[in-house]
Amino acid sequence: MSEQPVGQGPVHIQLLMGAKLARPVPLEVAEALLSAQITATAGERSGFQFAFDLTKNGLLNQRLLPDGYFDPKTRVILTVSVRGTPEVLFDGLIVRQEVGASNIPGHSTLTVTGEDLTLLMDLEERTARYPNLPPSERVLAVLRRYSDYGVRPDVYREKIAQPPHQDLRVHYQTGTDLQYVTELARANGYTFYLEPGPTPGRSAARWGPEVRLGLRQHALNVNMDAQSTVDQLTFAYDGTAREEPQARWQDPGTRQSTLLPQPPISPLRPPLGRRASPALKRRTLSGTAKQQREQAEAELLARAAVSADVISGSGSLDVNRHGYLLQPRRLVGVRGAGRAYDGDYYVKSVTHNLRPGSFQQNFTLSREGLEARGDTVRP
């Protein structure tokens, strides 16, 4: 078995490794795990760093390390069970290993660092042609190449329809698959990331708007004495963060240039705060005049939505104390921070830090305005 308890609470971890099909690691590997750090951030690639005890005469040093068990491109899957509910915390590939040899017995370590499976999409540059396909269909065509790794496309149609016009333009990909898919996401105000699970060896490649609707995670309580579940929370309000982009478009028939109207961002960013912050900056987008009108409108919407969040929060919690796992790229409520900062937030990033006897999470939150939209925070 590769399952090990974490601390005195109801938390267990399971580590799987392999070439393409990951399997539970030997008991010696699980027992040698000293620490695990995993970082997941909205709109970015997730990464990990694991440290192992490299005993001089142990299995890792004598056989597994020389035989390539920890070589780059080895697949690593880490599953965490909290109160009996398993969650796939990470699914990715090793890209680097470091050995720290020490004269002090028990202080030699093996550290492996890696990234999630989007790394596979960033290893090869290619030139591809996508005639008569809108952005979402082009993304689907790219993601189908990675089904062997259990990657399931979770692709949403763009908010502003962009019918292809092969007689005007044929869309080409130059660069890696990851660069192309990320570029299409940014142009539509979307985000692209891989979410591991729900079972080991499976993951969803989400290309779509940030998840700002639906069920909330268990709320974070602060400044509530015995009811507090968070060690600390710090909030900041940056009034210059929000921009009002402007875009001009030129009619190819009349050559007349017009200023496109400001689109509502609620289709991409449903409001989480009651009092939204006004935009203090204005910025003119370049290159929109010669685009198709639908593309220019999509870029205008995307830029307006990306800069909408002016409230940021950061904090840390003990999973054994909180009793629940805080997941990134989802919603969570905050209690005890005061009328201005209580309410729902989007979890921008989470860093998981696991050590024997400890499971800590550092996190950042964001939303577009002050005050909660409702009278209660659930659950």
Query: Where are the chain's structural domains?
Result: 3-120, 124-208, 243-306
- Looking at residue 7, its pLDDT comes to 47
How far is residue 287's CA from residue 261's CA, in Å, rounded to a whole number?
17
On whether the CB atoms of residues 204 and 195 are closer than 8 A, the answer is yes
Work out the angle between the directed axes of helices 177-187 and 135-143 (0-180°, nearest 10): 150
298 Cβ contact list (under 8 Å, min separation 6)? 158, 159, 160, 162, 187, 188, 189
Q: Can you say how many angstroms the Cα of residue 253 is from the centroid of all Cα atoms in its chain?
A: 43
Task: Tell me the three state secondary structure of residue 183.
Answer: helix
Please state which of the four CATH numbers 2.60.40, 1.10.287, 3.40.50, 3.55.50 is assigned to the domain occupying 124-208. 3.55.50
Q: Which long-range contacts (CB under 8 A, 24 or more apart) does 22-27 make?
A: 22/75, 22/76, 22/77, 22/200, 22/201, 26/2, 26/59, 26/64, 27/1, 27/2
Distance from C-alpha of 42 to C-alpha of 306, rounded to nearest angstrom: 12
Helix (H) / strand (E) containing 142:
helix 135-143
- Rounded CA-CA distance 91/71 in Å is 16
Consecutive 10-residue averages of pLDDT for the chain (379 residues): 51 92 95 96 94 93 96 97 89 98 89 98 94 93 96 96 75 94 95 95 96 94 92 93 93 90 92 92 90 91 93 94 92 96 97 92 97 90
Q: Residue 1 has what pLDDT?
A: 31
For 10, 36, 122, 207, 255, the CA distances from 137, given in Å and listed in that order, are: 43, 37, 20, 11, 31
* Identical fold between 3-120 and 124-208: no
CATH superfamily of the 3-120 domain: Trypsin-like serine proteases (2.40.10.10)
Q: What is the model's pLDDT at position 166?
A: 64
